[in-house]
Amino acid sequence: MNDTCMTDIFKTIEESRQEMVDLLRELVAIPAIAPESGGEGEFEKVECIEKRLGEFGFSRIEHHDVEDDRVPSGSRPNLILWLDGGCTTHRIVIVVHTDVVPPGNLAEWNTNPFEVVEKDGSLYGRGVEDNGQSIVSSIFAIRALIKNGITPSSDIGIVFAADEETDNVKGIKYLIDQGIFQKDDLILVPDHGNSEGNLIEICEKSIAWIKVKTLGKQCHASLPGKGNNAFRAAIRFGYLVDKELHRRFNKTDGMFDHPRSTFEPTKKEENVPNVNTVPGEDVFYFDCRLLPQYKIDEVLSVMRNIADTVEIETGTQIELECILREDAAPPTYSKAPIVNALKKSINMVYRNKPYIGGIGGVTCAGVLRHAGYQAVVWETVNGTAHLPNEYISINNMVNDCKVFTSLFLNAFDTTDNGE
């Protein structure tokens, strides 16, 4: 693709800046939270996306919805937008996700999390980074091609997947089982990156969410001898596990943004509603992210051994349940076609030298790698996903859109690999 053509496309994207902001504002106003987290799913948000796609003139849209009786709509929607290219044997597929995490403690937000606020060139709101920025950038990248009358050399697809923030069962895993992807697809998952826009993620850690339930005997707090405090047993277990896991699994790997395995106690369920009762049951959770050299079963074994010890010490019962498990997938080949193509496109827009690395988060790319697809993760972000006051830079959203268009038009041009 010649420089004049790319200049025209980039100009179109710049002229769409306010429209991009407006669409993101509209999407953030619809809380697409999974039922596991107390939400009603992604239906209304995807309905909004589909409506806007129709207004933009896109016609080749597929639905691959999954039944879910926990949400009012009765299903979790997966939407795919296709743009026909000159060659159907080559495809570029961008995978974004439509669900978001809950806002958390509202007192820590300076603004309404579901109302986008613009300040100093940034947009604040839950889901603006994870994954709203990329939803908007990918849509407007295809729109820029159409507005300039350009037919790409290959088919282009944008997958709007559900259920990413929980277990992907009703999202990317379902789509893989339906045969949506092809082995030669160039797959980009814009769901992580850095502020310079030069990190291409090719590998991820294993993840395990462990539910810990301690069972004792409820009683009045003034007569603790008549009961057995399940919360105290939980505290004891949590302390010992935290200490031992960090000691046993302490190797580092510089490939990853956080070079160590992590073990974080996170969610805590309510035990008793009043202060003057000793709880007979307590539940909390560990979020574990392991370097690929370690196995989840090793962690579970260590936790079980400590649980057995605490049971003897306290007279309580401790149940461990792995509610989410994703073993690390084989990494994407560092010189895979999608890696080389993306390097070239990043360099065209950001004028920097991209590098490969790994992350502790689990994205749709990890699921795709398990299924044998060479997927990569990239976007330009400030790393505020899941935080209070989540925000993005408008410039990042616009420039990432330019990278996508460059990828769409130059991915199969092998004259320059972007090194």
pLDDT computed for residue 89 by the predictor = 76
Rounded Cα distance between 370 and 329, Å, is: 5
Active site residue 164: yes
Split at pLDDT 50, 70, 90, the class of 385 is: very high
pLDDT computed for residue 243 by the predictor = 98
pLDDT at residue 1 greater than cutoff 80: no
Split at pLDDT 50, 70, 90, the class of 413 is: confident
How many other C-beta atoms lie within 10 A of the C-beta of residue 342?
24
Rounded Cα distance between 169 and 161, Å, is: 10
Mean of all residue pLDDT scores within the chain: 95
Are the beta carbons of 302 and 248 closer than 8 angstroms?
yes
Which run of H or of E encompasses 169?
A: none
Please write the tens of the pLDDT for every residue from 275-327. 999 999 999 999 999 999 999 999 999 999 999 999 999 999 999 999 999 99
pLDDT at residue 203 greater than cutoff 50: yes
Surface-to-core class of residue 98, CB atoms within 10 Å of its CB (0-12 exposed, 13-18 middle, 19+ buried)? buried
* Cα end-to-end distance, the chain, whole Å: 19
How many other C-beta atoms lie within 10 A of the C-beta of residue 272?
16
pLDDT at residue 212 greater than cutoff 60: yes
pLDDT at residue 415 greater than cutoff 50: yes
Split at pLDDT 50, 70, 90, the class of 87 is: confident
pLDDT computed for residue 178 by the predictor = 97
Please write the tens of the pLDDT for every residue from 389-409. 999 999 999 999 999 999 999
Please write the tens of the pLDDT for every residue from 39-80. 999 999 999 999 999 999 998 999 999 999 999 999 999 999
* pLDDT mean over 112-132: 98
What residues form DSSP beta bridges with 96? Answer: 160
What residues form DSSP beta bridges with 317? Answer: 215
2 vs 357, higher pLDDT: 357
Active site residue 99: yes
pLDDT at residue 418 greater than cutoff 50: no
Task: List Cβ neighbours of 107 (8 Å cut-off, separation of 6 or more).
Answer: none
Q: List the catalytic residue out of 129, 130, 163, 164.
A: 164
**Which domains are present in the chain?**
3-204+329-410 (3.40.630.10), 210-326 (3.30.70.360)
Q: Which of 234, 291, 236, 240 is nearest to 262 (CA)?
A: 291
pLDDT at residue 117 greater than cutoff 50: yes
Split at pLDDT 50, 70, 90, the class of 417 is: very low
pTM of the model: 0.88
Q: List the catalytic residue out of 42, 68, 99, 163.
A: 99
Split at pLDDT 50, 70, 90, the class of 419 is: very low
pLDDT computed for residue 183 by the predictor = 93
